């Protein structure tokens, strides 16, 4: 039976290009898991095994690997940094106990770092920070730690200080033990010596050592009192306090180095062992009742409990469908029958594997704390709970963002339809932020995603992995509709055509709801004019109409309906009559209530060299952008703005042209806002034209 205190389930996450994948490669090399290090820029890294990842030099899907360091087992997940793939980061954080946040020594805290950091805070994942690339031009460890403080509002606990900077970077000082680790020029991670602190750094190291101890002892009142009276705490006590503070997110132990040059990595691995929690030290996952609310019970991490696990990722590869599973409680053996709490169906576990990126080792059993993959599960989707059939439970599910951009696609040849259907089915199962629907009128297949790059890569995968050549339409924006004023109205549905008739009369108020409230319904009918048993039918009728607005047929958001009076007939009234009345009422009243078109607004974060700031801001203004913030750094300026999605197509090309290829940006969905009149008219006219053409 494995000792759970020696398990570390960790993720590596950061902004694009901060060096996550390189850091993962170095961890695998140091732990003896691989013998030749693959480089991202050569397209040869272990965890970036998709063709698209190797070519573009970015991580698209999270990859899992297991390795050992100082007799501790690490399950490591390398996550993507690009904003279009944050769903990968989110779902990985959901099942991890700790993480390493990687920041670039020269780029510092970049836009995507903030999103990932926010996700990690929401998931309450303990982290250590690794400031990477200190051998790069413009690297500055102290500036980056200051940014962590200011931009992320986090408290970095500085554990190592760099010796030399940029080309001169040769090692780090361990602030806790006041020892210097110096690497030679061979670039081999094991070629280092432990020496005394360089003379010119002694004062600085003393200052940081004192700050470290003061911060650590705050976690233990008795120790703090003793320290105030001049007693020096032991190394074990300090480490215990740092471990507690890290677990409680009071601070984040911060290390520095260069993963590419193999400097400083061992200390980061030691920190994972010393300070990040084991599966048993993390607050257990809450269990849910049938309505999806917490029921006060928890999935206690223990081998002796009934089996409970969460499927957090589905992947289809050359060996078949893989379901990645984090086991919270109990044991799982090959051949066991397990229950999918979501579908209510049981499945037999045929094969279980431990993942090494796209390689695998067969397993016969697994236990609480493990992250494994099960081969060939049917009908399991991301976020489903798997459990012991005798003890059915539901773990907290995952919530995924709604796609904001769509494209229409069709296969180039007729025979490609079936092939495309199968391929898209597999891709939707793998990525919950990627959705597909068929346009009923035109029969076109519509792909929906989080951004241009997201859909671009999906089309590329369809083409290369599944051999489906597509004709791709222009990107479309996911507009919405709403209302702007309150109205009172009445609607009567009556039908008399031999036999029993239909009758339902409703008096109602329709008004704009709270932002992001969707649809809300209440009834204040008194005196039984509309009997209580018909209220749900009225609600159902109104709700069913929310999927298609009156302006251009887009879904309707944020509407509140109140039923306050009406009339019924003892014989002719029925639930169906009231439902039809509600549908007619919606069509009648929404145009009177000031229907309005809404467009998705994106949170855009642009990085540009200083001499191009004016051009970038001018361009964002032309795109109807609202400037939010501007912040100068050493290597350039960050501009934050809210910009309508419809104005952002092809932006990367314009940005590169304006900044001679040096600018970069990220964007994520922020909120829906009313469309200006001229834009709304154009969109509505285009939609009507489309419908007429069909």
Residues annotated in a binding site for GTP: 14-21, 78-82, 132-135
How crowded is the C-beta side of 243, counted as CA atoms within 13 Å?
A: 17
Q: For 479, which DSSP code?
A: -
d(CA 139, CA 133): 7
Q: What CA–CA distance (Å, rounded) separates 410 from 473?
A: 9
Rounded to the nearest 10 degrees, how much is the dihedral formed by the CA atoms of 613, 615, 618, 622? -130
Distance CA 368, CA 388 (A): 13
- Separation CA 482–CA 555 (nearest Å): 9
158 within 8 A of 208, measured Cβ to Cβ: yes
The enclosing H or E element of 678 equals: helix 677-693
Q: Which long-range contacts (CB under 8 A, 24 or more apart) does 419-422 make?
A: 419/466, 419/467, 419/468, 420/445, 420/462, 420/466, 420/468, 420/470, 422/466
Token representation of residue 607: 């990085």
Give residue 248's Cα distance to chain centre: 22
Rounded CA-CA distance 670/599 in Å is 11
| Bridge-based pairing state of the strands 351-356 and 331-333 | unpaired
CA distances to 332, 506, 624, 654 from 647, rounded to whole Å, are 51, 43, 8, 12
Closest CA to 472 of 410, 379, 387, 551: 410
Other beta carbons within 10 Å of 159: 26
Structure token pair of residue 334: 């090959």
Residue numbering of the annotated binding site: 14-21, 78-82, 132-135
CA distance 547 to 306: 42
Single out the residue of 327, 256, 272, 280 nearest to residue 108, CA to CA: 256
Instruction: Name the nearest CA neighbour of 81 among 12, 156, 150.
Output: 12
Phi, psi (degrees; rounded to nearest 5) at 543: -60, -40
DSSP symbols for 137-157: TT--HHHHHHHHHHHH---EE
Backbone conformation region of residue 443, classed left if phi is above 0, alpha if psi is from -120 to 50, else beta: left
Residues in CB range of 187: below 8 A, 6 or more apart:
261, 262
144 CB contacts (<8 Å, ≥6 apart)?
103, 104, 105, 108, 109, 131
H-helix or E-strand containing 621?
helix 613-622
58, 40 contact by CB (below 8 A): no
């Amino acid at each position: 039976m494995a000792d759970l205190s020696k398990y570390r389930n960790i993720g590596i996450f950061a902004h694009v290009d901060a060096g996550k994948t390189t850091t993962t490669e170095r961890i695998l090399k140091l732990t003896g898991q691989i013998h030749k290090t693959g480089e991202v820029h050569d397209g040869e890294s272990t965890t970036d095994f998709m063709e698209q990842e190797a070519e573009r030099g970015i991580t698209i899907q999270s990859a899992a690997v297991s390795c050992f360091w100082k007799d501790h087992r690490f399950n490591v997940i390398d996550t993507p940094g690009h904003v279009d793939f944050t769903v990968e980061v989110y779902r990985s954080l959901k099942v991890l106990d700790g993480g390493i946040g990687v920041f670039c020594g020269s780029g510092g805290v970049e836009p995507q770092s903030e999103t990932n950091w926010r996700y990690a805070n929401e998931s309450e994942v303990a982290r250590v920070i690794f400031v990477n690339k200190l051998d790069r031009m413009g690297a500055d460890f102290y500036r980056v730690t200051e940014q962590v403080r200011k931009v992320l509002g986090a408290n970095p606990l500085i554990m190592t200080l760099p010796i030399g900077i940029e080309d001169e970077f040769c090692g780090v000082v361990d602030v806790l033990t006041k020892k210097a680790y110096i690497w030679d020029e061979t670039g081999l991670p094991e070629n280092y010596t432990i020496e005394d602190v360089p003379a010119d750094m002694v004062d600085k190291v003393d200052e940081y050592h004192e700050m470290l101890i003061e911060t650590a002892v705050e976690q233990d009142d008795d120790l703090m009192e003793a320290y105030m009276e001049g007693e020096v705490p032991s190394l074990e006590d300090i480490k215990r306090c740092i471990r507690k503070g890290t677990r409680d997110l009071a601070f984040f132990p911060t290390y520095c180095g260069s993963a590419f040059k193999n400097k400083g990595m061992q200390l980061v691995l030691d920190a994972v062992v010393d300070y990040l929690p084991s599966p048993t030290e993390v607050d257990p996952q809450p269990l849910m009742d049938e309505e999806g609310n917490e029921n006060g019970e928890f999935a206690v991490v223990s081998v002796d409990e009934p089996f409970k696990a969460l499927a957090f990722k589905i992947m289809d590869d050359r060996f078949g469908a893989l379901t990645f599973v984090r086991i919270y409680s109990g044991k799982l053996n090959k051949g066991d029958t397990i229950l999918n709490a979501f579908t209510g169906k049981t499945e037999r576990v045929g094969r279980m594997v431990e993942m090494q990126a796209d390689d695998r080792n067969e397993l016969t059993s697994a236990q609480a704390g493990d992250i494994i993959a099960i081969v060939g599960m049917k009908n399991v989707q991301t976020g489903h709970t798997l459990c012991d059939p005798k003890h059915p439970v539901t773990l907290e599910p995952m919530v995924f963002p709604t796609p904001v951009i769509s494209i229409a696609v069709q296969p180039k040849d007729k025979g490609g339809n079936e092939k495309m259907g199968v391929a898209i089915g597999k891709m939707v199962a793998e990525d919950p932020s990627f959705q597909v629907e068929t346009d009923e009128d035109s029969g076109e297949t519509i792909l929906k995603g989080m951004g241009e790059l997201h859909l671009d890569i999906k089309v590329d995968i369809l083409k290369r992995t599944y051999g489906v050549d597509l004709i791709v339409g222009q990107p479309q924006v996911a507009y919405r509709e709403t209302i702007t004023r309150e109205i009172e109205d009445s609607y009567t549905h009556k039908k008399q055509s031999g036999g029993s008739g239909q009758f339902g009369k409703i008096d109602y108020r329709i008004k704009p709801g709270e932002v992001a409230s969707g649809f809300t319904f209440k009834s204040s009918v008194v005196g039984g004019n509309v009997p209580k048993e018909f209220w749900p039918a009225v609600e159902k009728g109104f709700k069913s109409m929310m999927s298609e607005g009156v302006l251009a047929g887009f879904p309707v958001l944020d509407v509140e309906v109140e039923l306050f009076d009406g009339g019924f007939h003892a014989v002719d009234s029925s639930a169906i009559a009231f439902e039809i009345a509600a549908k007619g009422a919606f069509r009648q009243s929404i145009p009177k209530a000031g229907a309005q078109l809404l467009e998705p607004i994106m949170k855009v974060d642009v990085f540009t060299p200083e001499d191009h700031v004016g051009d970038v801001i001018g361009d964002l203004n032309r795109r109807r952008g609202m400037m939010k913030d501007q912040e100068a750094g050493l290597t350039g300026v960050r501009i934050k703005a809210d910009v309508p999605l419809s104005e952002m197509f092809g932006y990367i090309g314009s940005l590169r042209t304006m900044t001679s290829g040096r600018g970069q940006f990220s964007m994520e969905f922020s909120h829906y806002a009313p469309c200006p009149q001229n834009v709304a008219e154009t969109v509505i006219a285009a939609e009507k034209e489309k419908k007429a053409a069909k």
